[in-house]
Chains A and B, each alone.
Chain A
């Protein structure tokens, strides 16, 4: 389980997160929603170690991971998927997958690549194609596949469906659900598209202006007359 305790963080002198506390239960999908600039992405980056933490603590499976380097977090099973630049455009799909498992011994790598391809069979046909020639959705699938090769325990996805057509976005969301169901991964999902995201979420966190305003069940957030319309563009109690 991932636990963020009273974290204040930002970029240099620019503070973005203000005393943020939240827990992300194991094996569940926690969705982080909120308006633009609310600090959702920054929260992920902070957990991963890409920002400056002024105060607070982050714990994963009981261990304090606040100060350790990003690639050490990968070793501990935490993987972060940024919104863009999450695959190597000039490498082929095959090469991308292999780089993801750079530190693995050959057999293990083969095994994990095979597993990843089982989850994303569409990639099989593109093994020799350069990643920049894939569609947006296919690229995201490749990115997630690369993350899976690391055998993570926790995956943090930053707006994976941004800039994707609704049908493709839907596919990605389905895949994310499968990751939880079939692989038992803990998932932190940051999403602009609150409606869709909250449908698959087991837990929801609403962030506004760098603070957590709500932490709890997604359904209640969807139906909340105040939060829904104000921050999520939903119709609140009238939402069906």
Chain B
């Protein structure tokens, strides 16, 4: 049995890595920190919520049609777990849907503004604006979905003749209970999160060095004009980068409700940690996200645990930890661990 604190640490580290990757990637292309990035993830969370809820509701519906009695229906509800197909479905759906949202942000908001000569502040504000819009839409959906599904359940209750013991809520919810890989006594999300991270590490390595588009991306972020001259359609490359980044955020968000209590505002809480992770790793270094996410995720969880246990500190102070890490990083090494010219450091050490 793995210590719960370690599980927490792994969870947050993986989430931060996935989210920081996207943030760093979009930063490298447009040089703008995307304040909407964490809210991208929450869209994925609600996609998962919708998928799971509709699955449960339709299985209840089937059960009623088949004439199962209340006791059996209750068992059905209690024993409901996610199948591998469910995980795949929410991941793919989230990737695509949120990817499109990110693509839209790039093509419809950032690129046009940039073409008009917007300043950095203007572009940053644009990302905040998009964040506000996404936030409002998520909230509106949350209100609607909760009412809708509870309404459906009410109807089903009437049909079944008894009150179905299920009340769905879209705020402060978690799908933790459903996250059990059938047969094995392990949570699907705990398997998926590290797998995604490791898988990405491998895929990125191949993508960025062995494929044409990967090299084109590296060239574009380094010197867009030169890349343009070389024949690269830099705009298309950037658009792809935004699609993938947002998609990754969506995947991370899709798994969030399986591990944490989820709210539409969760993105606003996470964004600070994600910025910290990206800054620690280096905003200009794609692999920095892995390091930064790991460091911040681990530190946050372990330090908070220590403080709560030994100093009785309230868990609400948790956001201070990534903030302090970020502040220290900016004072000592603003370009991040990944951004620092270690070769120069080595030379200095050798010389002395």
Q: Point out residues on A near B: beta carbons under 8 Å.
A: 70-71, 74, 80, 85-91, 95, 98-103, 146
Contacts and interface: CB of A to CB of B under 8 A. Distances in A.
Interface string B267-288: 0000000000000000000000
Contacts of A102: 212, 216, 230-232
Interface in B20-44: none
B222 A99 contact: no
Given A89-B222, A90-B222, A91-B222, A98 B229 contact: no
Nearest to B227: A99
A99 B215 contact: yes
Contact of B229 (A70, A89, A91, A95): A70
Contacts of B218: 88, 90-91, 95
Contact of A74 (B219, B223, B227, B231): B231
A91 B219 contact: yes
A71 B232 CA distance: 10
B226 A85 contact: yes
Q: Closest 6 interchain pairs by CB?
A: A103-B231, A102-B231, A99-B219, A99-B230, A88-B219, A95-B215
A80 B232 CA distance: 16
Nearest to A95: B215
A100 B230 contact: yes
Interface of B: 209, 212, 215-216, 218-219, 222-223, 226-232
A44 B215 CA distance: 28
B236 to A, nearest CB: 12
Given A90-B218, A98-B215, A99-B215, A85 B223 contact: yes
Given A85-B223, A88-B222, A90-B222, A99 B228 contact: no
Contacts of B230: 99-102, 146
12 contacts: A70-B229, A85-B226, A86-B226, A90-B218, A91-B215, A91-B222, A95-B215, A95-B218, A99-B216, A99-B230, A100-B230, A101-B231
B216 A71 contact: no
A132 B43 CA distance: 41
Contacts of B212: 98, 102
Contacts, number: 47
A207 B99 CA distance: 53
A94 to B, nearest CB: 10
Contacts of A88: 218-219, 222-223, 226-227
Give the most central of B216, B222, B229, B231: most A CB within 10 Å.
B229
A101 B216 CA distance: 11
Give the most central of B209, B223, B228: most A CB within 10 Å.
B223
Given A88-B218, A90-B218, A95-B215, A70 B226 contact: no
Contacts of B222: 88-91
Contacts of A87: 226
Nearest to A143: B226
B223 A71 contact: no
Contacts of B227: 88, 99
A101 B209 CA distance: 16
B299 to A, nearest CB: 29
Contacts of A101: 230-231
Contacts of A74: 229, 231
Contact of A70 (B215, B219, B223, B228): B228
Contacts of B215: 91, 95, 98-99
A74 B230 CA distance: 8
B115 to A, nearest CB: 15
Given A71-B231, A74-B231, A91-B222, 13 more contacts: A70-B229, A71-B229, A85-B226, A87-B226, A88-B218, A88-B219, A88-B223, A88-B227, A91-B218, A99-B215, A99-B227, A101-B230, A102-B212
B223 to A, nearest CB: 6
B240 to A, nearest CB: 15
Contacts of B223: 85, 88
A89 B215 CA distance: 12
Give the most central of B209, B222, B232: most A CB within 10 Å.
B222
A142 to B, nearest CB: 12
Contacts of A95: 209, 215, 218-219
A95 B226 CA distance: 14
A99 B212 CA distance: 8
Contacts of B231: 71, 74, 101-103
Contacts of B228: 70-71
Contacts of A70: 228-229
Contacts of A71: 228-229, 231
